[in-house]
Amino acid sequence: MRNNKFKQLNGKNLKIAITQARFNQKITDGLLNGALKALKESGIQDKNIKVFQVPGSFEIPVFCQSLAKSKKFDGIITIGAVIQGQTAHFEYISKAVTDGIIRVSLDYNLPVAFGVITVYNIKQAQKRSGSDKGNKGYEAAMALVELITEINKIK
């Protein structure tokens, strides 16, 4: 799954939290596996990775807010799968989770990666959470480690 568009990074001492939504868990488990693989490739130690679960994507922002307040982590990866159904729920949840995640990131000046997929059907979800290239959990984790590394250069 390794992808050249991502830098080789050394995240040995970074502490990372992952917030995984349980809704559509088969998909979010795939995203989580991708994220864990990326963190391993970036040298992050297992003991420095904490995985938390919340019921659905809607709950991700408030949980991330608590993580940010704790000041225990260098960054957070959010994992969720919002899949369009028969009602307008999809639009509301997608907007709430997206706005909420960037708000926590900016309010707390803490890197928070967006590993929440918002897709029109299960096929798109499977494609973005599988073990091939294009796993969005993997991409989010790689982006997070790169962002933390860059921010640390200006500290």
Q: Which is nearer to ligand DLZ, 14 or 82 (CB)?
A: 82
Q: What is the DSSP letter of 6?
A: S
Residue among 57, 98, 56, 71 at smallest CA distance from 17 = 71
Q: Which is nearer to ligand DLZ, 89 or 95 (CB)?
A: 89
Query: Residue from 7, 12, 26, 89 that binds ligand DLZ (CB under 6 A)?
Result: 89
Radius of gyration of the chain (CA): 15
Contact (Cβ atoms closer than 8 angstroms) between residue 57 and residue 99: no
For tokens 């984790």, the residue is 141
Instruction: Give the total of residues touching ligand DLZ (CB under 6 A).
Output: 15
Site for ligand DLZ in 15-74 (CB under 6 A): 21, 23-24, 55-59
For the question of residue 15 being annotated catalytic, the response is no
Q: Which is nearer to ligand DLZ, 12 or 89 (CB)?
A: 89
Residue of 2, 12, 69, 89 with catalytic role: 89
Residue 88's Cβ-side half-sphere holds a number of Cα atoms within 13 Å equal to 2
Residue 49 phi, psi (nearest 5): -115, 125
Q: Taking CB under 6 A as the rule, does residue 108 contact ligand DLZ?
A: no
Span of 31-39, 78-86, 107-115, 145-153 interacting with ligand DLZ by CB under 6 A: 78-86
For residue 32, give the H/E element and its range.
helix 25-41
Catalytic residue annotation: 89
Which residues contact ligand DLZ by CB under 6 A?
21, 23-24, 55-59, 80-83, 85, 89, 93
